[in-house]
Every structure is written in C-alpha cells, then in structure tokens.
Amino acid sequence: MTGGASGIGLETARVLALRGAHVIIAVRNVEAGNEAKQTVLNANGDANVNVLKLDLCSFKSIRTFVDNFNSLNLPLNILINNAGVMFCPYKLTEDGVEMQFGTNHLGHFLLTNLLLDKMKNTVKISGTEGRIVNLSSIAHLHTYEKGIQFDKISNELGYSDKKAYGQSKLANILHCNELSRRLKASYFTSFLEAEGANITVNSVHPGLIMTNLMRHTPLLMKVLKVFTFILWKNIPQGASTTCYAAVHPSLKGVTGKYFLDCNEKKPSAFARDEVLAKKLWDFSDKMVNQPKLV
C-alpha cells in the first residue's frame, strides 16, 4: 500500500497485518516507513511488514519500486492506493506534471498498471479474488468546469489548489471505473479460456480526518473543524472504509463502486461519465509513457 507511514495509511497497514496479511509499506521517506513498521510490530509481534521506497512524484521511482517489489517474489492480493498530496501550492512533479494530478492520479495510475500482471498471476495461482482500492474524496465534487482540464492540466495560469485537488480525486474514481470496466471485459472474454482476471476495483472516501495531508492549510482546517466537528472522524474510523473495501467478504465481485462510511454511494455525474473515464485513461497512458516534460 502507498502512504502507509502515517494517518489512515498506517492504521490500514496495522489492521491488515492483524488479519494476517503480509504488508508492503511503500513510502517516500524510508525512515518514517521504518517507524511505521515498528508501530505495526508493536501492535502485533508476528506481523510481516516490509518497507520499500516509492516517490509517486517520479515515474522513474515508481518503476524502480515495482522492480524491487517483484524481486521479493511475493504474491499481490490487495493494492491500496492511499498516498497523496492536498491543497499544495502550484508545483510540478519531477516529470513536469502539476503536483496534485501527477501524484494523486498519474502516480497511482502507473503503479497500478505496472503491478496488474503480478496481481493477475496471483489470482490465477491462488484462486482468490484480487482487490484494488483507490482513496478518493468527497472533494471530487469540487473540480474544474469540465471535470478534467485535459488541455491545460499543468498550467499555472488559473491554477486553484482546491479545484486541482478535486480534479485529482475525480480522476481516482474515473481510474477505478475504467479499470473495472476493462477487467470485467477481460474476465468474461478469458473466462471461456479458463483464466479470467478476477480482480475488483473500487474507490472510497475515508471522511474528514485531521492528518498530515492537511499540512498546507492547517489554520483553515482547524477553523473548519470547529464549525463542522460532528462530521469529522478519528483515524481508525477513517481507515474503516478502506479496510472494508479491501477485505470484507460481502464485497466479493463488487467492482467499479464508490464507498463512504462502508456503504456504496453515488459519486458526481462527472465520476459516472464513462466517456470521460475512457478519455482520462488514454490521456494518462500517454502521459506516463512520454519523455520528461521538464
């Protein structure tokens, strides 16, 4: 899972380890990742936890991470795309993409695509359903006028840190929905050949939680929390929907859905737009496979 060094990512890692999962914590800061590993081990001395370096701002780092993960020769049953940045000032990733879209969406898009064959192989060998979970947000409702501004994805002019975040969270849902559609099509086609890709893909909104993700707007969030305190969750509550989507048996075969408070919810009209999802997939695929922009 990505972003497992703190907050709901760390809590998710702890819960999954308690359930017997071998957890890989993928983090930009390896020192923080090792501290998180120790926290998980303190809760469960028998836990299996590895820490691997991953910087979602860098396509090169993502490819290196996948090589390192594959070298461990471990199965891949669950992929949780949890890490992200929020409301940050305008900045470009190492590859020349606006930071929030590049990290929250493109980084996870590339990571998921590179790990998909590993998960398919695990499913084939184990016979157990694979699950991919993207952490989105209710913030996907607050995005740019056309949902995804493809023609100026990295433009500084007109940049809004809030709308850019919403755009990236909308992209997380659209990514899930399109990957779910492609996997279902692949599954029913290959089912006749007795080797279907039995993998579900869902997105979740963890709720309003005060974590390190808020570091760019601490004052705003503290003021907001005073007036909306009844809506806020603690970290274990925030991780519950992620864990539900990742392991709950009642979700067997459920795919392409959006969850809030461990219940399926209807996302925005943009998030349900299949044409937009297909366009985003093609756009993203082109971006992660082109030469550096800077």
Q: Which residues are catalytic?
A: 159
Cα-Cα-Cα-Cα dihedral sign, residues 270, 167, 219, 203: positive
State the DSSP string of 194-212.
T----EEEEEEE--B--SG
Q: Buried (b) or exposed (e) across 117-137, using 16+ Cβ within 10 A?
A: ebbbebbeeeeebbbbbbbbb
Please give the Cα distance from 249 to 237 (Å, whole number): 19
Q: Which of 277, 265, 164, 255 is nearest to 207 (CA)?
A: 265
| DSSP tag of 290 | S
* Distance from C-alpha of 111 to C-alpha of 56, rounded to nearest angstrom: 8
